[in-house]
Amino acid sequence: MSFGWLKLITYMFEIRSATPADVPAIFSLIQALAEYEKLSHQVTGSIDNLHAHLFGEKPCVEAIVAVVETQPIGFALFLHNYSTFLTKPGIYLEDLFVLPDYRGLGIGKALLTQLAQTALERDCERLEWCVLDWNESAIGFYKRMGATVLPDWRICRVTGEALSQMATPPS
């Protein structure tokens, strides 16, 4: 009986705050995430916009990265939100992604753990995010990390022309 070869690779990785030098790599990871989610056609942003929103005059998002040998191989992009019921800030995780070759090594867990620590350090009452309903592996991972997947909430989104129309006061 042949079992073939078992390839075991161990990576040393670091979780740290993103720097301006990481922006091109983060944008590349965003594109890889979009490809995984079959949403590449929706990536219309740019490295320059991402840089401005992370590190510009008025930053509106933050990111942490997982790095192997100076190369970002995963990221978590997040921003603050607020709970009116709790009257406390929270953190909203916009995206979490680890390149496929590095999955199963604890990197996603380390990113979420760091984000939870950041939430506690900032006196946030909750950490929340969305997950696509077809992404069973992510849903299972999040549940194992202690997350509750809320079945009774739906995302509402207004973009493009509909956003412009909504912003126009009635005549």
Tokens 């008025």 found at: 58
Residue 90 pLDDT grade (very low, low, confident, very high; cuts 50, 70, 90): very high
pLDDT digit string (tens) for 98-150?
A: 999 999 999 999 999 999 999 999 999 999 999 999 999 999 999 999 999 99
CB count within 10 Å of CB 31 equals 13
- Find the radius of gyration of the CA atoms of the chain: 18
CB 96 within 8 A of CB 111: yes
Tell me the pTM.
0.90
For the chain, the domains span 14-167
> Which CATH homologous superfamily contains domain 14-167?
Gcn5-related N-acetyltransferase (GNAT) (3.40.630.30)
Indicate which residues carry an active-site annotation: 142
What is the per-residue pLDDT for 70? 93
Tokens 């022309």 found at: 161
> What number is the average pLDDT over the span 50-56?
98
> What number is the average pLDDT over the span 17-46?
97
